[in-house]
Each structure stands twice: as C-alpha cells, then as structure tokens.
Structure 1
Amino acid sequence: MLRSLWSAASGMMAQQMNLDTISNNIANINTTGFKTQSMEFKSLLYQQLKAKSTDSEGNPKPIGVQVGLGVRNSSVTAKFTQGAALDTEEKLDLFIQGNGFFAVKIGEKTAYTRNGHFGLSAVEGGWELTNSDGNPVLSTKGTPIKIDSSWDPKDISIDTAGNVLRRVDDKEAGSTKHENLGKIALYQFNNPAGLSRSGGSLYYETPASGEARSEETDTGLSKSLIKSGYLEASNVSAADEMVNMIVTQRAYQLNSKAITASDEMLEQANNLRR
C-alpha cells in the first residue's frame, strides 16, 4: 500500500511541474520571440519482486515480477520552430527567417535572442543600436553599431543581410547611395534546446548548447535572412496548450484518486479484527 501512495504522490508532483510549464507558455503567448517548452517524463526505479516466476506446476514463466515506483520530470525542452512574422512597419524591428540569433552585450557577457525589437539609444557622440532594455546589439566584429550624431536616424535602414545602411543623397548628381555602418551579427547553435534561458527573451551559451557559430564566418551554416519592419511572434499554440492543460489536470486527478484508494485500503486493513 505504501508503494502505491508514494508512486501516486510522485505522479502528482510531476504533473504539477507540467502545469507550471504549460502556464508559463500561455503567459508568454504574446511575448516576441518566445519559444514554447514541453515537459519530458521518466519512470523511476523498478522493484524486483521475483527474478523468476513459475506457474502452478512449477514451470518457469518467460518474465519476472517487477513493480514501478513512480515518475519524475527529466527535462523541459524548448521547441525552436519559426514563429509568425508580425508586420509593425517599424524599420528597426527585425525578424529572423532561419535559425539565427541576434547577439546582445549584457555587462561582460554576450546574450542571444530572437526578439528583434530594437531602437536607437543616445550615447556619447551619437546613437547606438540597442534592444528594448538599452543593451547594445553586436556587429559581426563583436562591437556595438554606432551612428554619428550629425546623421538623421530617419536615413538609417537595414537590408536582408543585416547591413545597417545610411542613405546619402548627392544633390549635385541627383542620385542616392548607401553607406554601410556595420553588419548585425547572427549566430547559430548545434543544440539550441541546450541554451540557458534568462528573462527578457534572452539566452546564454552553455556546454549543452555548444559554442555560438557565426553565420558570417562559418561556411557550414545555412544563412538566415533579416526582414525589417517585422517581429517574430511566439510559437505557442493556444489550442495545444489548452488540450495539454486538460490532460495534465486529469492525470493529476487520477493520481490523487489513487492516493485516496490506497488510504481507504490501508484503513480497512487497520480495522481488521481477529
């Protein structure tokens, strides 16, 4: 009886964590660049009651007798499928079509993100391309992208390769040319699911994710494209999450009923009289 109590209790704890994951997905359904997560389960140890079993005539059976001891959460896996492109009509909002990540400088560390909601922050001598928290977006040279104060930010544009361009009108020649101010860096990972999540849709490199691979220098990577004026929506499916929530609730109820049944059986056994 005690075995069934602990097995059912492990199921309730596992489903509680599963519900926590689903709730986080639903809460971030409108978060730019958010990637949905799913819970993975793993069975616990098995108790060997009989290594060999026989029938009533003593003939050996092909299997022994083992009883499972419950379940646990093994991992929370992120799914890096492409989110939908949302039209914002803001030229500094950037959408990545492909597997790339933007690089953002956070203190002494480099963080990576799919959230391309960028803007210009005032710095000494001009402006700097930053994310919504004011952290500089890195170029392929590993440095922030700066714009001189004498230039009009309205003349700045970004092409599909990530080049930050400044429009220069030649009034005498009656022509327009573009000056390249730098190229936005894009990175990929061998195992993006191994990245460490942080707040603000930021990720950090870990041994599980592997080192960041630059699309600029790594010829073995499929290059991503950047679309200006768009943002990547969350890849959370509301319908899938609602179904997962119902399944999780039912599994939690079943485990709680198993505990109730075990408790009632123990009560009956304790009340037996000779």
Structure 2
Amino acid sequence: MLRSLWTAASGMNAQQTNVDTIANNLANINTTGYKAESAEFKSLLYQNLQSKTTSANGANKPVSAQVGLGVRTASISSDFTQGSFLQSDNNFSFAINGKGFFAVSGVDGQTEYTRNGNFNISQGTDGLTLCTSEGYPVLDSTGAPIVFDATMKSSNITVNSDGEFCYPDASNNPAPIGISIGVYQFANPTGLEKEAASLFSETDASGVAINEAEDAGVKKSTIKQSYLEGSNVQVATEMVNLITAQRAYELNSKAINASDEMLQQANSLKR
C-alpha cells in the first residue's frame, strides 16, 4: 500500500508537468514563431515481487511477477512543424518557409536562433541596423550584423526569396546590395535549448548550426517578406490533451485516497 501511495504521487507530479506544458502552449498561441511543446514520460524501476523460479528444481516461471514504481517526465520536446503565414504591415517582417532559423546576436554577443522574424530597423552611428524587438542585431550569412547604409530609405529595402536584400538601382529596379539574411539549420532541432523571447541556443544534442549559404547538401529555405510565421499550436488538440491530463490526475488522486483508506482499515485491526 505504501508502494501505491508513492506510485500515484509520481503520476500526479507527471500530470502536473503535462498540464504546465499544455498551459504554456495555450499561453503562446499568438506568439510569433512559437513551436508547440509536448511532455513525454517514462516508467520508473520495476520491483520483483517473487523470485524468478517457482519449483524446487529451478524451473523458470512462464510469467514474471514485477510491479512498477511509477512514472517520471522523460523530456519536453518541441514540434518544429511549419506554422501558418500571417501577413504583416511591417516591411521588415520575414517568415521562413523551410527548416531554417534566423540568427541574432544575443546577450554577451552569443549567437541565438529564432523562427520569429518580426524585425525592425534601428538608427545608429554605423547606419541602419536590422534587429529584433528586444534590440538584438540580426546576423547575415557571414555571421555579421546586418547594417544598411544610412542614406538608404528603409521602405525601399526588399528581400527576395533567397534572402538577398535589394535596393532600387538607377533604373528603379531592385538590385542585390551584397547582404543576405543568415538562415541556419540543425541536424536535431529538438535538441536546441529554449531561451526567452522565442530564442534557441545551440547544444551538443542539436549539433552545430548549418549555414544554408555555405552548405550545398541541405535543402534551402525561402524567405517571405511582410509575412510572419504564426504559432503551430492547435487549440483543439491542446484542449483534448488538457482534459486527458486532468482525468489522469484525478485517477491518481483517487488511488491515493484508496490506499489511505486501506491503511486506515489495517491500523483499525489492532483496536
């Protein structure tokens, strides 16, 4: 009975983590570039209730007698499927169609990666810097911050599907200016470490960032200007998962109550 108390308690803890994950998905349903997360579980150790043999001559039992000791959270993984494209009035809003990530120079100059392409122009002494809403500079295909000439009119800057920035030439036709927005891929994107503001950082599990501009072996992503990638959270799916997690939590709590009542009955036998 004590075993059942611990097992049911571990189930309640696991389902609480599940509800926390679902709540975070629902909270970020309108977050640009957000990727839905799901909690995954694994069973704990099993305890042998009987020995492996039942006969005096050591014959093996056809079925073992083992009981599980509960569950724990194995991982919380992100689903990197493509989100829907949402039109934006911002000329420097970009959406990635493919598996790529934008690169930004984050805190202490560390390179971070994101699917949130809601960028803006910051006026500085060096020119016009493309940056995130938090002020982090966006990096180009060479890993350098994207800075435009201060004489350029920001409303005339465009981006083609290959990520090349263009500006009207003498004939008023968009011409590449030699700057391409950096797009990077990972062998295992689910291994990325999640940071605040929809940012991800590279880890050993994710592998090193693959620069699409330099690696011919990867399928190139395309860029859509004046569009943003919406969250890929599915409300109906999350609500079903929430109800399932709630029911599982209730069942585990009932198991604890049942075990508690059985212990009370056992203790009353001495009276």
TM-score by length of 2: 0.95
Q: Percent identity?
A: 52
Aligned to 1:203: 200
SS of structure 1 residue aligned to 2:173: strand
Alignment length (residue pairs): 268
Using the TM superposition, name which of 41-50 and 179-188 deviates more: 179-188
For 1:177 and 1:71, locate their aligned partners in 2 and report how far apart those are by CA, in whole Å. Answer: 59
- Conserved? CA contact 1:102–1:187, under 8 Å: yes
Aligned to 1:117: 118
Using the TM superposition, name which of 86-95 and 64-73 deviates more: 86-95
User: Partner letter of residue 181 of structure 2?
Assistant: I
Which structure has the highest strand share of the two?
1
Which one of the candidate residues 253, 263, 266 is aligned to 1:266?
263
Aligned to 1:90: 90
- Conserved? CA contact 1:146–1:181, under 8 Å: no
- Conserved? CA contact 1:54–1:60, under 8 Å: yes
**Judging changes above 3 Å, is the alpha-carbon distance between structure 1 residues 97 and 177 closer, same or farther for their aligned structure 2 residues?**
closer
Which one of the candidate residues 226, 248, 253 is aligned to 1:251?
248
- Conserved? CA contact 1:169–1:177, under 8 Å: no
For 1:133 and 1:186, locate their aligned partners in 2 and report how far apart those are by CA, in whole Å. Answer: 19
For 2:118 and 2:60, locate their aligned partners in 1 and report how far apart those are by CA, in whole Å. Answer: 68
Alpha-carbon deviation of 1:108?
A: 1.9
SS of structure 2 residue aligned to 1:47: strand
1:216 aligns with 2:213: yes
Using the TM superposition, name which of 137-146 and 108-117 deviates more: 137-146
For 1:148 and 1:219, locate their aligned partners in 2 and report how far apart those are by CA, in whole Å. Answer: 30
Alpha-carbon deviation of 1:176?
A: 3.3
1:77 aligns with 2:77: yes
Q: Deviations over 1:98-136 (max 9, x none)?
A: 000000011320000000001100110421111111111
Aligned to 2:166: 165
For 1:2 and 1:179, locate their aligned partners in 2 and report how far apart those are by CA, in whole Å. Answer: 71
SS of structure 2 residue aligned to 1:169: coil
Unpaired runs of 5+ in structure 2? none
**Judging changes above 3 Å, is the alpha-carbon distance between structure 1 residues 46 and 179 closer, same or farther for their aligned structure 2 residues?**
closer
**Judging changes above 3 Å, is the alpha-carbon distance between structure 1 residues 139 and 70 closer, same or farther for their aligned structure 2 residues?**
same
Alpha-carbon deviation of 1:90?
A: 2.6
For 1:242 and 1:52, locate their aligned partners in 2 and report how far apart those are by CA, in whole Å. Answer: 45
Aligned to 1:192: 189
- Conserved? CA contact 2:91–2:155, under 8 Å: no
Alpha-carbon deviation of 1:6?
A: 0.4
For 2:217 and 2:60, locate their aligned partners in 1 and report how far apart those are by CA, in whole Å. Answer: 57
Using the TM superposition, name which of 146-155 and 108-117 deviates more: 146-155
For 2:178 and 2:61, locate their aligned partners in 1 and report how far apart those are by CA, in whole Å. Answer: 76
User: Partner letter of residue 197 of structure 1?
Assistant: K
**Judging changes above 3 Å, is the alpha-carbon distance between structure 1 residues 59 and 143 closer, same or farther for their aligned structure 2 residues?**
closer
Alpha-carbon deviation of 1:250?
A: 0.3
- 1:58-69, aligned counterparts within 5 Å? 61-69=61-69
For 2:167 and 2:33, locate their aligned partners in 1 and report how far apart those are by CA, in whole Å. Answer: 27
User: Partner letter of residue 25 of structure 1?
Assistant: N
Q: Point out 4+ residue stretches in structure 1 off by more than 6 angstroms.
A: none
- Conserved? CA contact 1:167–1:178, under 8 Å: yes
TM-score by length of 1: 0.94
Aligned to 2:129: 128
SS of structure 2 residue aligned to 1:50: coil
